[in-house]
C-alpha cells in the first residue's frame, strides 16, 4: 500500500471520501496513462503460465487465503475484474469498511448475503416496513427453502426487536437481523447501536442454543453513504441498491455489500458461484457517479427541505414522513441526532381521499415523473401501496403505515421552486 494511488492521506492529513473518489485504487500507469479508469470489458484473462492459473483459481475459490497486502490474480469477470474491484474499493472507502462486493442489483446483494449466511432451519429477523422486494424474498422465496422469518415494526425500535428475537429463538437459530433505517417508505428510524447491543446481550443469554451472534445487516439505501454510516454504529454489513443515490442517474442497476474482510469473503464466495456479480460497464458507470455523489445528495437534500415546508402548509396533506421534521419530544429524535448527518431527499406524504386522491395527484404531475425508484437526478413519485409494496398483504401494509393515500417522492436536483409549482397544481 505504498503507491500514491492507494494512499488515503497526505502526510498526517487524512483524505476524505469525496476526494478519494477521483482516483483511489486506480494506477494510470497500467492503462496507458488514462486519467480515468477504463472499462475492462472482457470475460476472461490470460495467464502467464499453467502454474499461475492454478494459483489464481485456488485463491479465487477460497482454497488459499491471501496475506495482508496481497491481491487476487484476475481469472474471469464473474469472479473479479479491474473496473469492478476499483468500484468496490471506493464504496468501501465511503462506508469505512475493510472490504466490499458489488452485485447486479440491490436485491441480488440482499439475496446473496442472506443465502450466504442462512441455512434451512435458520430464522431471519427483519424490520417492517422494508423494501417490498426484500419482504417478498424473505417471506416467499426463502420460506420455500425452510428459512423462516420474524418481523418487527420499525417504530417500535429495539423493544420490537427484543420481542422478535425472543419469538425467533423458539423457532431455530437466528442467522441475520436485517433492518432498513430509515425504512421504506415511512422513514422510521432504528437505533443501530442499540440493535447491536441487544443482539450481543441476546447471544450471551442463549449460549449453546444460538450457534453464533446473528449478523446485523443494514440496508442503507435511503440515506447512505453521505448521511448515515451504519458500520460506525455497530452494524456488521452495510447494503445498498446502487441503482439509487450512488448510481444517481436512473441509468443503471446495481447493489453492494460492505463489511469486514472475513464476512465479505464468505458472501463473495456465494456471489461468484451463483453469478450475481455486476458487469464491468455498470461498474464503470458507478465510478463516474461516485465522483459527484456528494454534490448530488447535498443538492437534493436541500431541495427536499423546501418541498417539505410547502407540503406542511397544504390543507390536502395529512401526514409527512420526513426525518427532518422530528422534534425533541419524539422518541426517534435522539436516534436521528446521533445516527444521521442529514434527512435525505426521499420521503412520503399522505393526502386526503385515499387511493383515488393519491392517483389524481400522481396523474397530474408534469415535471415530477411518475415512476418507482429514488435517488436519481430527476424527481420521482409513486404510490407504495399499489406499486413498490403491492406484494405486501393489505392488512400488513396498513399496520406498518402504508396507507392508500400515501405518496412517496424522491426529490431530484431540479430547481426546488419548480418542483413546488408542480406539486401545487397537482394538489389543487
78 is catalytic: yes
Among the listed residues 6, 78, 269, 319, the single catalytic one is: 78
d(CA 340, CA 323): 9
In this prediction, residues 292-312 reach a mean pLDDT of: 98
352 is catalytic: no
Among the listed residues 90, 196, 229, 244, the single catalytic one is: 244
Among the listed residues 183, 191, 219, 422, the single catalytic one is: 219
In this prediction, residues 339-350 reach a mean pLDDT of: 97
Q: Which of these ranges, 29-38, 104-113, 406-415, has the smallest mean pLDDT?
A: 29-38
Residue 2: per-residue pLDDT? 41
Residue 3: per-residue pLDDT? 64
Distance (Å) of CA 402 to CA 132, 169, 220: 11, 29, 20
209 is catalytic: no
H/E segment holding residue 252: none
Mean pLDDT of the chain: 94
Tally of CA atoms within 13 A in the half-sphere of 317 that contains its CB: 21
In this prediction, residues 396-408 reach a mean pLDDT of: 92
CB 194 within 8 A of CB 157: yes
d(CA 185, CA 146): 28
Single pTM value for the model: 0.94
245 is catalytic: no
d(CA 324, CA 249): 24
In this prediction, residues 275-283 reach a mean pLDDT of: 97
Among the listed residues 26, 126, 131, 245, the single catalytic one is: 131
Amino acid at each position: 500500500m505504498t503507491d500514491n494511488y492507494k494512499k488515503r492521506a497526505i502526510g498526517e492529513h487524512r483524505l476524505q471520501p469525496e476526494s478519494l473518489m477521483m482516483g483511489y485504487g486506480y494506477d494510470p500507469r497500467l492503462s496507458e496513462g488514462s486519467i480515468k479508469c477504463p472499462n475492462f470489458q472482457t470475460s476472461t484473462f490470460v495467464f502467464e503460465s499453467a502454474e499461475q492459473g492454478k494459483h489464481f483459481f485456488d485463491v479465487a475459490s477460497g482454497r488459499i487465503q491471501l496475506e495482508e497486502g496481497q491481491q487476487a490474480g484476475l481469472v474471469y469477470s464473474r469472479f473479479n475484474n479491474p473496473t469492478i474491484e476499483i468500484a468496490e474499493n471506493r464504496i468501501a472507502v465511503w462506508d469505512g469498511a475493510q472490504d466490499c462486493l458489488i452485485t447486479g442489483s440491490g436485491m441480488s446483494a440482499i439475496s446473496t448475503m442472506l443465502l450466504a449466511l442462512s441455512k434451512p432451519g435458520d430464522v431471519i429477523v427483519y424490520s417492517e416496513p422494508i423494501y417490498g422486494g426484500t419482504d417478498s424474498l424473505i417471506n416467499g422465496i426463502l420460506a420455500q427453502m425452510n428459512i423462516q422469518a420474524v418481523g418487527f415494526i420499525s417504530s417500535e425500535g429495539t423493544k420490537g426487536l427484543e420481542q422478535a428475537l425472543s419469538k425467533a429463538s423458539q423457532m431455530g437459530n437466528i442467522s441475520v437481523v436485517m433492518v432498513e433505517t430509515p425504512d421504506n417508505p415511512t422513514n422510521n428510524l432504528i437505533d443501530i447501536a442499540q440493535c447491536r447491543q441487544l443482539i450481543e446481550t441476546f447471544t450471551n443469554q442463549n449460549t449453546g442454543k444460538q450457534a453464533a451472534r446473528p449478523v446485523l445487516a443494514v440496508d442503507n439505501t435511503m440515506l447512505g453513504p453521505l448521511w448515515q454510516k451504519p458500520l460506525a454504529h455497530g452494524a456488521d454489513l452495510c447494503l445498498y441498491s446502487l441503482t439509487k443515490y450512488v448510481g444517481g442517474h436512473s441509468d443503471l442497476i446495481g447493489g453492494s455489500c460492505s463489511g469486514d474482510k472475513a464476512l465479505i469473503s464468505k458472501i463473495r464466495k456465494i456471489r461468484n458461484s451463483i453469478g450475481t456479480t455486476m458487469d464491468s460497464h455498470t461498474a464503470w458507470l458507478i465510478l463516474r457517479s461516485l465522483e459527484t455523489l456528494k454534490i448530488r445528495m447535498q443538492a437534493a437534500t436541500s431541495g427536499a427541505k423546501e418541498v417539505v415546508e410547502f407540503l406542511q402548509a397544504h390543507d390536502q396533506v395529512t401526514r409527512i414522513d420526513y426525518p427532518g421534521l422530528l422534534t425533541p419530544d419524539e422518541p426517534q429524535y435522539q436516534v436521528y441526532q446521533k445516527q444521521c448527518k442529514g434527512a435525505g431527499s426521499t420521503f412520503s406524504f399522505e393526502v386526503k381521499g385515499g387511493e383515488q386522491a393519491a392517483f389524481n395527484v400522481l396523474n397530474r404531475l408534469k415535471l415530477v415523473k411518475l415512476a418507482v425508484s429514488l435517488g436519481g437526478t430527476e424527481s420521482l413519485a409513486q404510490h407504495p401501496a399499489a406499486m413498490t409494496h403491492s406484494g405486501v398483504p393489505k392488512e400488513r401494509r396498513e399496520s406498518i403505515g402504508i396507507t392508500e393515500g400515501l405518496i412517496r417522492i424522491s426529490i431530484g436536483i431540479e430547481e426546488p421552486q419548480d418542483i413546488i409549482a408542480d406539486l401545487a397544481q397537482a394538489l389543487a
